[in-house]
Amino acid sequence: MSIMNMILIVAVIGIAILVIYYYINAKKKAEVVDVIDVDDQTYTLSKMIEFVKRRLDEITKINLYDIGLSEEELKRRKNKKYELKKALKGCTYGDVNDKKYVKELIYDLLSKEYGVDEMNISKSIPFDAPSLLTPQDKFDILIYIYKKEFGYEALGELIKKYKLDEFKYIQGETKPCYVITEDEINDIYEKEKIVLSFSDKLNIIVQRIYQQYKGYSSIDEVRDMNIDGVSGGVSGLPESFLSQVAQTDSGDYLAQIQEHKVQRACDSIWIMFHGKSIRLAFLSFGTEAELKRVCQNIYKYNNPGQLSDTNGYKINEMKDGSRVVVVRPSMSETWAFFVRKFDVKRATLEQIVLYPGKEDTINLLKFLVKGARIISLTGEQGCRKNNNAYGNDRKYIWNNELTYHRNSIWVTLKKNISYT
């Protein structure tokens, strides 16, 4: 009887060991093996975004204690998991280092697990057929190439090289305006004659996936550039108005809306460059939902509280010190955000104060600073206070009112007068 009991105990223990062994192996295979069913849609951007979301979710949520790792490997994987969670959170706050970390991981996932190669990479963005590229595709390629050479001055260099910050007339407008059009982007792309390697193409796709997944949509790379600011949703018709038109109007105006000839709020992207508000007419968030997603994420640094219907605006800073303002309905007609950056280069007064009579101004500023005087620069909205302070105004002199007190000086800016 005792021998039978011993045999039964050994058999039960053996079965238990086999079950545990197969369970651990199944866990390991479930973590490592992810079979990709290849079809016509596999290498489109939407499918690759789905894959990246799923894999990053698996990596951050997997229970490392269930897969039978050694102590050293467990510690290494725990550190990697913690770094990824931290980066996924930090990149939404505008941290460029966290953004770089997440993009490198996406690059590895696509090249090593998803099987993106020279043969299928153009199924997501038609790099080999320039006529099929959208203006946003061409802009992304241009910014990538310029960024390799100029870093975060890429957008500024592109604007200065092709004089994109000049007044121009466009179709449908009666007055000149600051705008960069689709035609200009198409012409610039053709002139640049860009040749891309496989690594370049994959990096561009990684950026597109990142900005749709964790970034700030179409303005993600623009926001990182050394410019004065960027805003979205601040012009154009709100979705609520377009819905009303669709229900009541059956004429030409409705047709124009459907063909995107009427600017919507989600088509509104503006940058501030050297004191000029320039509309990027070739970029769009695509839908109000995407604009809403950006607005809901861009202000979240340091947990400023929830943006809600009762609290319809938030003013905060981003990780890099940029000031951000976000508004939403019913505080405003549509979702919108304003990001003001402070990328002022180091320069001497002689370099930044350029208008006639600058010698007296420079001497005055030097003595005010040496005397530790308080200097207040005030004025009505749109009178270019920041440009005066940063020295960006080169075509205007100012009709200023100076007020002196014992320990301070106020400068009130009024309407500008061109001397050209």
Q: Which position has the higher pLDDT, 257 or 163?
A: 163
Report pLDDT for 35: 57
Amino acid found at 318: M
Q: What are phi and psi of 24, to 5 degrees?
A: -65, -45
Judged against a pLDDT cut of 60, whether residue 152 lies above it is answered with yes
pLDDT band at residue 397, thresholds of 50, 70 and 90? very low
Helices (H), 270-342: 288-298
98 burial class (0-12, 13-18, 19+ CB within 10 angstroms)? buried
Cα–Cα–Cα angle for 392, 398, 401, nearest 5°?
125
Strands, DSSP E only, in 178-268?
179-180, 229-232
Judged against a pLDDT cut of 50, whether residue 185 lies above it is answered with yes
d(CA 403, CA 4): 106
Cα–Cα–Cα angle for 361, 380, 174, nearest 5°?
105
Percentage of the chain beyond pLDDT 70 is 77
Q: Give the 3-state secondary structure percentages of the chain, helix then strand then coil, rounded to 5.
A: 50, 15, 35
Return the closest-CA partner of residue 102 out of 74, 60, 132: 60
Q: Where are the domains of the chain?
A: 1-32, 124-340, 349-418
Model confidence pLDDT, tens digit, residues 340-356 = 987 655 556 776 676 67
Q: Which position has the higher pLDDT, 191 or 67?
A: 191
pLDDT band at residue 393, thresholds of 50, 70 and 90? very low
d(CA 224, CA 336): 19
Model confidence pLDDT, tens digit, residues 1-17 = 577 777 777 777 878 77
Judged against a pLDDT cut of 80, whether residue 388 lies above it is answered with no
Q: Name, of 195-199, 240-244, 414-418, the range with top average pLDDT.
A: 195-199
Q: What are phi and psi of 323, to 5 degrees?
A: -90, 135
Report pLDDT for 87: 94
Judged against a pLDDT cut of 80, whether residue 212 lies above it is answered with yes
pLDDT band at residue 363, thresholds of 50, 70 and 90? confident
Q: Which residue has the tokens 């697990």?
A: 113
Cis peptide before 330 (omega within 30 of 0): yes
Consecutive H or E run containing 246: helix 239-248
Q: Name, of 14-23, 202-211, 327-336, the range with top average pLDDT.
A: 202-211
- Number of other residues whose CB lies within 10 A of the CB of residue 105: 21
CB proximity list for 197: less than 8 A, separation 6 or greater: none
378, 371 contact by CB (below 8 A): no
pTM over 0.85: no
Report pLDDT for 133: 96
Judged against a pLDDT cut of 70, whether residue 399 lies above it is answered with no
Return the closest-CA partner of residue 88 out of 66, 64, 55: 55
